Amino acid sequence: MDILTSIRDQIDAVRLPLYAVTVTAVRRPDTPLLLMLHWHGLRRDEAAGAAPARRRAVPGSALQLNARWHALEEIDGAMLDAAWQLGAWDMERSVRRGCNDAGASAREAHECRQAFGDNPLAPDSDAHLVAEAPDRDELMQLAARRGYVRWLFRPVRAGLWRAIAEDDTLDADGGRTPPCPVAPRALGEPQRAPVVYRLGRITRIVLP
């Protein structure tokens, strides 16, 4: 599975620094993945009609990936590869139960909606997102029943974090040379605390 190419294509098209990258998958084999890229930047609000024009945050990008997969560890490996090559310090993997389960809280429902690009504060508006994901709503409903997994990393290469990165594993451009030396871990039962894969390290003494 190759997720990195889709991320790079979006970086080349949008040409803004990335704040974070997430991928969400329903806990059901061969369902589409939702890739979301969160950009750092402002744009003129042309609809405001006021002078001076207001500026709003650039909307995120949501892409549906229809790659075939049978085990969630396949996605784990592809995301580790992307996070490694884009210079992320770490990657988080969160396993969540369906928010329709008995005893699920309102917070869990809120997090599920966010994981699939919905804005719970403005459910009728997609102004926060540019989406090419025709099955996004159906995937969110399925995740509410079956549970889902969400991966998140913050890239240094082509990202907001390059100016402040302190990581001795990075190349000059903020990325890393493949392959990623960190192996995927088996997925367990849904839990509140994410699994964190540490990718970066500092081997020198950093003075204040």
What is the value of pTM for the model shown? 0.88
The count of domains in the chain is 1
Which residue range(s) make up the domain with 119? 4-198
Q: pLDDT at position 49, please?
A: 54
Q: DSSP string covering the chain, please?
A: ---HHHHHHHHHHH-S-EEEEEEEEESSTTPPEEEEEEE--EEE-TTS--SSPPEEEPPEEEEEE----SSHHHHHHHHHHHHHHTT-SEEEEEEE--TTSTT--HHHHHHHHHHTT--TTSTT--TTEEEE-TTHHHHHHHHHHH-EEEEEE--STTBGGGGG---TT--TTS--PSSP-PPP----S--SSPEEEE-----SPPP-
Whether 204 is in a domain gets the answer no
Whether 24 is in a domain gets the answer yes
Whether 141 is in a domain gets the answer yes
- The one-digit pLDDT tens for each residue of the chain (208 residues) are 999 999 999 999 999 999 999 999 999 999 999 999 999 877 666 555 555 567 677 889 999 999 999 999 999 999 999 999 999 999 999 999 998 887 888 888 889 989 998 876 666 667 677 878 999 999 999 999 999 999 999 999 999 888 788 899 999 999 999 999 999 998 887 877 899 999 999 887 655 5
Whether 124 is in a domain gets the answer yes
Whether 62 is in a domain gets the answer yes
pLDDT tens for residues 170-205?
999 999 999 999 999 988 878 778 999 999 998 876
Whether 131 is in a domain gets the answer yes
Q: pLDDT at position 187, please?
A: 86
Whether 206 is in a domain gets the answer no
